[in-house]
Structure 1
């Protein structure tokens, strides 16, 4: 792959990165003794930026290994301790990509089914833009949903019970819903605009132009982050599968990308990747937040978070950092949960 120009990939985002670092601290609140803390941060994997190994999204395996999407390499890879990344699949090359904001074809949101099947968002600016199914055993890929070529399908979530995927479109400010099963003869299916509205939309220039970004499912709701607006949103799923009113659960999260829930069941405490300021924030159920990890711990434009037991996984794509340092950081989650 030819040498990559970091700042040219996200020209508008790069312009606000420095300002975002300063703004992120303004909305932070003091840390409570009863909330989770992150300790023992350590970078366990370093990646090759020149080869496009910019980890964007993460989905964990039962054994603790991690699947990641390498955005600029158009790849899905598996990371295991003390091993080089194993490439599970490479998405097809695009002759003339016209992806909004980035200009090149990129793999973004990633989700895993219980049988090991992986789903990934692929943004190209062409008819290949959509949700793709990856067979990790055979390395085969198939487009199962056609998403708007003028969009940027970013975060991705899987509801296996309903048999649907939710994809957050950062440009069109839409959460798309698509079935996991492709039609046997019609090829990829067209999506349903499941949730729309101003809360999901990006801001106009000079903002980055990135609205709905990260996406996670939680207790009968779809949670979405809005990068431009620094918000964390909750969208209830009605019994008939339609979207309920969009709720704003947190504000002031400047440069929020994807996120994860700290607890499997207890409450809605969130660990959020703040990409521009190279931080991870603990977002409390009441909407306030504090910073748990910073660039001093090894973060370099983190893009997503995953939690397995007491282990927190944070991939960093290093889009704006010089020199680049894309990596995977692990930290220990100390669950000082307070029930009141």
Structure 2
């Protein structure tokens, strides 16, 4: 989820932004038609808008889960929605979560209930995170072919679940808790969650700590928005966490990230400055897309083969939440 930290009043501004998104009458202009980025050393081309979202309805694109055939599942804040984007850009709402008792004002950090991370299992089951404070709705939810979504893993009301991944090797969910600076685990079959890691490298520094999350090459990787870092935590033989290692710094406002397929090279969505940054295995950094390419509050990135999907939340920057599709040039 995208915290943004543009000024010393960043926390107040972030909360205010979510309130503004909920207000009626917000009108979004036409989405920016991004053109291929031509900066020297670029690794992306053929950048285009695949889908545009309704900011007035709170459709702030937050997270991405890829489906076979080019479809995409996206979590929307604060519309409390899960949507599917077809390969042709058609958008369909799959679920809208109810408000908790009292309206969700007890939701940690931001004070309004939100749908955040999404994930898809190998069997096609779609899961998502709902953070709603007190009221018994916070946790991991599963879409069903018929009927309302069902909660499969409850999480404490004081957590801010943000990114959701499926650790296929160990049949478990992993979830970042941005408020608590932790990573939770729970059985893929559902049930009780437990803290997998509360390493200090995951902790917030005033607002959002652990945010994006991936499992890669025998380790769990997480971004820390406040600290501008990417952290690698080795997975032990028993499935527990090893000692955390900071693998990248200088990425203030980082949200989600994904691996390109070249070792530990990643593409990082930098929400604060509306950029997509390539971070090499050696820690070197290169801006691939920025505001001139239509980046507005960049929230998530997902790579499949030579396709790169990027969501723009436009929460504290711009008015055009959308989904971009680009081609990765290797």
TM-score, L = length of structure 1: 0.83
Shift of 1:13: 4.1
2:6 alignment partner in structure 1: none
Structure 1: distance between partners of 2:309 and 2:109: 27
Could you list the per-position Cα deviations for residues 121-147 of structure 1 after superposition, in whole angstroms to 9, with x for gaps in the alignment? 110012211111223x33641112121
1:267 to 1:32, Cα distance in 2 relative to 1, 3 A: farther
For residues 147-226 of structure 1, the aligned pairs below 5 Å read: 147-182=155-190, 189-204=191-206, 209-226=207-224
Could you list the per-position Cα deviations for residues 81-133 of structure 1 after superposition, in whole angstroms to 9, with x for gaps in the alignment? 44531112222321321212221110101111011111111100122111112
1:9 to 1:122, Cα distance in 2 relative to 1, 3 A: farther
Shift of 1:202: 0.5
Shift of 1:32: 9.0
1:112 aligns with 2:113: no
1:321 aligns with 2:317: yes
Structure 2: distance between partners of 1:105 and 1:331: 31
8 Å contact kept, 1:64–1:308: no
RMSD: 2.0
Choose the corresponding residue for 1:270, options 256, 266, 271: 266
1:131 alignment partner in structure 2: 140
1:41 aligns with 2:47: yes
Shift of 1:41: 1.6
For residues 1-340 of structure 1, the aligned pairs below 5 Å read: 11-13=12-14, 37-96=43-102, 97=104, 98-126=106-134, 127-135=136-144, 137-138=145-146, 140-182=148-190, 189-204=191-206, 209-263=207-261, 266-322=262-318, 324-335=319-330
5+ residue gaps, structure 1, are 1-7, 16-30, 183-188, 336-340
